[in-house]
A = this chain, B = another copy of it.
Amino acid sequence: MADNFPPVNLPKRLLMGPGPSEVDPRVYRAMIQPVVSLLDPAFVPILDQLHELLRYAFRTQNAITFPISGTGSAGMEAALVNLLEPGDTAAVIVGGVFAARMCEIVERCGGKLIRIDVPWKAAPDPDQIRKAVGGKKVKVLAAVHSETSTGVCQPLEPLRAIAQECDALLVVDAVSSLGGLPLETDLWKLDVCYSGSQKCLACPPGLAPITVSERAAQVISQRRRPVQSWYLDLGMIQQYWGKERRYHHTPPVNMLFGFHEALRLLREEGIEAAWARHKQSHMALVQGVEALGLKMFVEDPAARAWTVNTIRIPAGVDDARIRTSLLNRFGIDIAGGLDKLKGQIWRIGLMGLTATPSSVLLMLSALESVLADQGFSLDRGAGVAAAEKALQAPAQ
């Protein structure tokens, strides 16, 4: 029996995939404070602090701002099921796998879907979006800020204008951007924005922070029928997180302890400094990758997410063998492409505690080594040298 079920003992990885990311030991230490009851008077101040710390991360004053008891996809589902009622129209800008998931959820809500397919490797053209929704009654306009499947960063400000033109609520997936890419919930008037704990916020997976504008909260409170999900009913959950402290469900208390510490770390660093660190790591990786003779999948530098870096797999190089070598020889975890990008790209995450000069240099050295093993012709040492140079430039 003991042999069949040994304790969990995993090798240490360097998490450079599209999430989860590396986690500070302080977060783990916080997670193992003995669990307490969800209404313990000593625990309640932690809830208030989480509220405030999340508002800091989202750059918002929204009252409804808390972590949902589920992973990032639960955040996506919560955003859509709370806003949509059967027959409502939602327009989704689809430039990758995660936006496509939004479409599936819209349909499961009985919503009418306007699917706006845009290129998977460039920022979408606002005019295409404007045209697709023009003259239509649209309740929700939804977009993914940093598309984790492609590495494209979608500028959000142009969407604000389009949403206003068609009087839609703007829903933003910030799963792989919150804490790593500039995101201004209030300034950009995002109506609902959600993320995951395990990417740029550098906490293990298990929580989906969400924030809801006053306007969106009003729409939710005026629904004709209850939200189809009881578990993700934001109005009910708010009664626990708000002053009422009314029991809804038992949250994952220890994950909240860890998330509190991860957000404390973010606040200690300062969110602008965290953005700059993500940018610097990204720029250095790009310099290094290009110096090795590889190409970024997203051609326009301005359209690249700093967080999920996508690299074209060069012809003649075996995708799976490279990733296996990185894992087995160096303990480095990266990911391949999803869906139609399978076999075409690698996805290298520089998020949370992974977004450091050390990760970048190690990644480039290891990549050089495994590519050389496969006979890929490259200028040895050029990747690290180029990255080092970029790292010495002052962070912006």
Task: Give me the interface of A with B, judged by CB distance under 8 Å.
Answer: 1, 4-5, 7-13, 15, 17, 19-20, 23, 26, 28-38, 40-43, 46, 49, 52-53, 69-74, 77, 81, 101, 104-105, 107-109, 196, 198, 204-206, 226-232, 247-255, 257, 260-261, 264, 267, 327, 333, 335, 338
Contacts and interface: CB of A to CB of B under 8 A. Distances in A.
A250 B52 contact: no
Contact of A36 (B107, B109, B249, B333): B333
A35 B205 contact: yes
A242 to B, nearest CB: 18
A107 to B, nearest CB: 8
Contacts of A255: 206, 252, 254-255
A259 to B, nearest CB: 10
A252 B5 contact: no
Contacts of A109: 228
A37 B10 contact: no
Given A19-B250, A230-B101, A250-B19, A70 B70 contact: yes
Counting from the closest, the 8 A-B pairs by CB-CB distance are A206-B252, A28-B32, A73-B249, A204-B254, A205-B250, A77-B231, A35-B204, A20-B35
A252 B252 contact: yes
Contacts of A36: 10, 13, 15, 20, 333
21 contacts: A7-B261, A7-B264, A8-B257, A8-B260, A10-B42, A13-B36, A19-B250, A69-B70, A71-B249, A71-B252, A72-B249, A73-B230, A73-B249, A73-B250, A77-B229, A77-B230, A81-B229, A196-B250, A228-B229, A229-B229, A254-B255
A247 to B, nearest CB: 8
B204 A253 contact: yes
Contacts of A264: 5, 7
A193 B376 CA distance: 54
